[in-house]
Each structure stands twice: as C-alpha cells, then as structure tokens.
Structure 1
Amino acid sequence: MNRVAVVTGGTRGIGEAISVALKKAGYKVAAVYGGDEAKAKAFTHETGIPAYKVDVSDFKQCQTGLQKIAADLGPIDIVINNAGITRDGTLHKMTAEQWEAVIHTNLSSCFNTCRSVIDSMRERGFGRIVNIGSINGQAGQYGQVNYAAAKSGIHGFTKALAQEGAAKNITVNAIAPGYIDTDMVRAVPPQVLEKIVAKIPVGRLGQASEIARGVLFLVADEAGFITGSTLSINGGQHMY
C-alpha cells in the first residue's frame, strides 16, 4: 500500500498505537512529536517508523514539517490529529497561558495540519482525516474548561470540514475516546481513577489499541461513505 499517513502526537500513548497499527496495515507512516526526543528516538528504533519533530500549534512549523514528510514519503493521504495536552484547573484559577496552550495544541493544530494538506488532497481526489476528540468534549469535565472547549471544537471542526471535502473524496471523521489506559490517565490519583472506572459500564479502562482499530476502519479506502461522523469509544460511559 502506498498511502502515506501522518499521526500527530504519534510516538506515545494513543498516537503510538495508531502509528503502529497503520504500519502493520501496510501504510507508510510518519509520527509527529512535539518535544520528547529521547522517547521519539526509542519509538523509531523499536518500530521503524520515522519521527518528525514539529510544533503542530505553530502554523508555519506545521507547513514546513508536513512538506518535509511529503518530500520524504510521498503525498500525504491520511492525517490523524491526535496531538493533545492538558493544563487542568478550575476557571477561577486558570491562567491565560493554560487556556491558550491547550487551545493551540489541541484545536488549532487541527487547522494547521489540515490546511497544510487540503490543497494536495483536493487535487488528487482523495483524503482521510481523523480527529481525536474526547468524551470530555462531549460531556464536559470539572476542571477542564480549556480541554473540553478544545475537544468540543474538534467535533464541530470535523463536521464542517467533512462538508467541504465530501465532493473531492476527502472524508473527515472524529473519534471520541473515553478513559484509555495511557500515562496521562494513569497519572490520575488512584482514588479518583477508581471512581472513574466505576462509572464505565464495561468496568475497565480502554486500550489504546481499541482506538487504533477505530482509526483503521475510518481511513480505509472503502470507508468513503462515512464522513462527518463521531465514533465514540468509551465503554458505554457516555452515549451521545
């Protein structure tokens, strides 16, 4: 398979699982990371997937980085917007810097990557874009007004861009993970995590590989009639 896929935040957690699953399925994959060079080098050594350091919150860096990937691997057919951070705090204690960091990294990055590849996708008449939202963008979460706003914005961005891309065979969908067994979730205090799991009907955290399976479904050539959709993978915690 000659399809080229870019995964932002692609060297760890959910992004790592997506990158590996895409490679195993035969795609040419580029994993984009923001800062942890040691982790990125280890990831490439273990998987054979090239990692590119790009600040996806910066439009010019994003353009340059994706141009580099296209020059190395070929025109980009698939973009998985997975990059995300948290800077939690209740609104009355949240700083402007905490708000802006999350909005730019989690939401503006979707514009930056998609704007950088959309012209090429339109010219070639093919594209698959999957944006990783969140259960907390659907239901909200105490202490996460910045994160919930960014992830909710991703869902709206997805539906609007899906309408624009449909005539050119560019599908745009979202996945809204629930609580997944990653470093980010495992950093939650045990007593809080226990309460979270108690609210999940299947009785456990999700696995990153389960999100990757959803991505593989949505990016397939055969998935051309699925666009503007949000696939909730949350163990039944929030049915939306």
Structure 2
Amino acid sequence: MERKMSSMEPDAIGVVQKVAQYAQEILGEEGFRYTSAIVASCRMLAVQQTDYQLESEHEIDIADNNDGESDKGKDDEAIDMDALVIAGYLHDISTVAHGYNDHQRESARMAVQFLQQQQFPPERIQRVEQAIVHHETSASSEQHVPVEARILYDADRLGRLSGLSVVTSLIEFGARYPDRPMTSEMLATILHHIEERFIDQYQSLYTDAAREMAREKFGKTIDFLDGVIEHLSDATPV
C-alpha cells in the first residue's frame, strides 16, 4: 500500500501564515516559541514516519494482516500536512484564557471558529479539529485516531521525554508543597512516580519515528533515575 503525504498547497500557505500570526498574538513570544517547536517536530515526524512506512511495507506478510496484531493499516492514511501544521500551532491556543483543564476541546472550538473565518475547506477544518481534540490522551488500540492527531500527540510528548522534564516535575512539586519537609525516602518515592509516568509516556507513543527519536534520551533518563533512587535508598534525610 502506498503511503501518501500531502505537501503545502498554495492557498493553504496563506492560511497557515495567518494561523501562526494568530497563535503568536494569543500565546505571546514564549508560548509561541514552544508551539513552533511542536510544529517543527510534527513536520519531522510526518516525514520520518512516512519513510518508516515505505521501508517496512514489503516486510509485512499476509499473516501479519490477519492476526490482528499488525500495525499495517493503522498509519496508511494520507497525512494532511496543512492540517497537521495548523493543529500544531493551535492545539494549546485556549490555555492562556481558560487554563489546561480540558483545554483540547476549547482549543479545537477556537481553531474551528478561526479557520471558518479564513474560509478554510470544511473537510480540512474537521481534520484540524480532530487532531486537536485527540492530541492530549492516548487512545486504546481499538479506537481510530486520525493520523494528524497521532503525530501531534507524539510531537507534544517528545519534549517531555528528557531529563529536563524530571527537573520540571521536582520544581512543580516544590512549588505546590513549599512547607513540606523533604526526606530521602520521600524524594525516592517522588522520583519513582516520575519514572513510572515517564515510562507510560514513552509506551504511549503512536509512531515508530517518535519512539526512535526518544529512545536514547529515554534510556539515559531511566538509567539516571534508577541510579538516584538506588542511592537514596541508603541515604540520610535531606
């Protein structure tokens, strides 16, 4: 089966530029830098995942197609690059005014409203909407998730699969409980929880391309956490 990926169409380029400007106005410079990094990851993942599919197609035999465990067919729909990039810019657009609680639905609503004003084709607006709605949680294997949503989900997770996310989690804990005394046992428990969440994030990735991109940093971070937790088990109170 041939894997397809649509390139930027001339009419859509202008819409994408307006979307980027709209996102920058709402998110501010810092938020827009983060969002632009997500968009760059989306582009890279789309290209690399297409290459993975093309390379692996000839290795998938008839048994794989019939045993229910094969990934073939899950990623064989064409990627709408315009919709993917637009969704990347707008997936967190509501967080400034509404926070992160269920933000994917409010962001999707705002994205639809803006794209309708730009007279973007309805069927492509729907792809953007679905990508944003599904980008926050990993679906079960039985649930169909649009390819743009899978790639956006993975791009959003890649930034969290590094040692920096461990530091961020510890800072957030300290800010939330500033008066709580910290012991080695408590710190080890926190790091173990972070490690479990880290593993869940990695295992939830949809695409081969994302898993390959994250593998090295993931492995190093897990080794680091294991070493610190082991050290803390015999340490004196902090």
TM-score normalised by the chain length of structure 2: 0.31
More helix by share: 2
More strand by share: 1
Structure number with bigger Rg? 2
